């Protein structure tokens, strides 16, 4: 099964390229402390707004801090927010979708109407409001993004459960007296995870983008902790005098989000038999 999946996945050269870039970003984030030539929080006003050079690869900011070092450490925050927020989102979405799809009836209607209600709110403005009320911190950002972005996963999982609960293996398990929780998590859920993997990959990109947007608006990761979003925020004041403060973090966000989206598209094509013939 794995070899078959990889055979279809590697036909999509863009997805393979995206996967390579994602792996490189992971390695950079893990080894940021080793790769960083300077302390990302060290200030030296005599070096402020220096352009890229052999001493400061991506230049310095308005406080003389090395942008390259701050970008490396900022990658950790972006990936941490992306994965933890998506983990929370996937957990809630799977639980809600599995419950609605397996039990059906009034419980399904109640949960799906709640999902519809949540989808009525503009996600980013809801996140912005909640973060403003709770206070900007890394933990609050991850939790808020997670609890406001699970609705799509819930719908995918529900649709899979509605189909799989009628299959012979599910009916046989029920006839043998297997408990509902065991049927849900042992028999049905493993067969419903394909769209979850695709959704999770695409959601990581969205979470990174949301965190960058919040940090850019001042509601995200707070200085002096570096993140790609707040480096952009600091750079907008000097956009004509210090272009590197906006160009490099902007490119980092663009490349990371695009890479995760390409991997997600590749996973979708490889896991969906209906799309394999198009490649």
pLDDT per residue as tens digits for the range 172-217:
888 888 888 888 888 888 888 878 888 888 888 888 888 888 877 7
Instruction: Give the integer Cα–Cα distance in Å for 126 and 136.
Output: 14
Question: What local confidence, expressed as pLDDT, does residue 219 receive?
Answer: 79
Task: Give rounded-to-5 percent helix, strand, coil for the chain.
Answer: 75, 0, 25
CATH number of the domain bearing residue 217: 1.10.3720.10
Tokens of 58: 């991506």
Residue 6 belongs to a domain: yes
Instruction: Give the integer Cα–Cα distance in Å for 228 and 212.
Output: 6
Instruction: Give the integer Cα–Cα distance in Å for 96 and 102.
Output: 10
Question: Which of 261, 41, 230 shows the shortest CA–CA distance to 141?
Answer: 230
Question: What local confidence, expressed as pLDDT, does residue 1 receive?
Answer: 53
Question: What local confidence, expressed as pLDDT, does residue 71 receive?
Answer: 92
Number of domains in the chain: 1
pLDDT digits (tens, 9 = 90+) for 116-135: 888 887 777 878 787 778 87
Question: Which of 20, 79, 42 shows the shortest CA–CA distance to 253?
Answer: 79
Q: What are phi and psi of 66, to 5 degrees?
A: -75, 120
Residue 180 belongs to a domain: yes
Residue 23 belongs to a domain: yes
Q: Which domain holds residue 138?
A: 2-40+50-276
Residue 27 belongs to a domain: yes
Residue 45 belongs to a domain: no
Instruction: Give the integer Cα–Cα distance in Å for 28 and 248.
Output: 15
Question: What local confidence, expressed as pLDDT, does residue 25 receive?
Answer: 92
Greatest mean pLDDT among 55-59, 137-141, 172-176 lies in 55-59
């Amino acid at each position: 099964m794995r070899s078959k999946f990889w055979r279809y996945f590697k036909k999509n050269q863009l997805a393979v390229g995206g996967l390579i870039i994602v792996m490189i970003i992971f390695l950079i984030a893990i080894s940021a402390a080793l790769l960083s030539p300077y302390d990302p929080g060290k200030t030296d006003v005599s070096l402020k707004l220096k352009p890229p050079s052999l001493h400061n690869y991506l230049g310095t900011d308005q406080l003389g801090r090395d942008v390259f070092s701050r970008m490396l450490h900022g990658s950790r925050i972006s990936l941490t927010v992306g994965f933890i927020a998506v983990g929370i989102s996937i957990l809630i979405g799977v639980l809600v979708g599995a419950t609605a799809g397996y039990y059906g009836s009034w419980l399904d209607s109640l949960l799906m109407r709640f999902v519809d209600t949540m989808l009525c709110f503009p996600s980013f403005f809801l996140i912005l409001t909640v973060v403003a009320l709770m206070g900007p911190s890394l933990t609050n950002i991850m939790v808020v993004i997670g609890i406001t972005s699970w609705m799509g996963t819930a719908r995918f999982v529900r649709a899979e459960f509605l189909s799989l609960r009628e299959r012979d293996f599910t009916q046989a398990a029920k006839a043998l007296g297997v408990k509902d929780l065991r049927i849900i998590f042992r028999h049905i859920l493993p067969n419903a995870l394909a769209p979850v993997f695709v959704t999770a990959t695409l959601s990581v990109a969205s979470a990174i983008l949301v965190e960058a947007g919040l940090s850019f608006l001042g509601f995200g990761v707070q200085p002096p902790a570096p993140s790609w979003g707040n480096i952009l925020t600091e750079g907008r004041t000097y956009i004509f005098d210090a272009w590197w403060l906006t160009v490099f973090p902007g490119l980092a966000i663009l490349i990371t989000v695009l890479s995760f989206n390409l991997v997600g598209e590749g996973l979708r094509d490889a896991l969906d038999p209906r799309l394999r013939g198009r490649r």
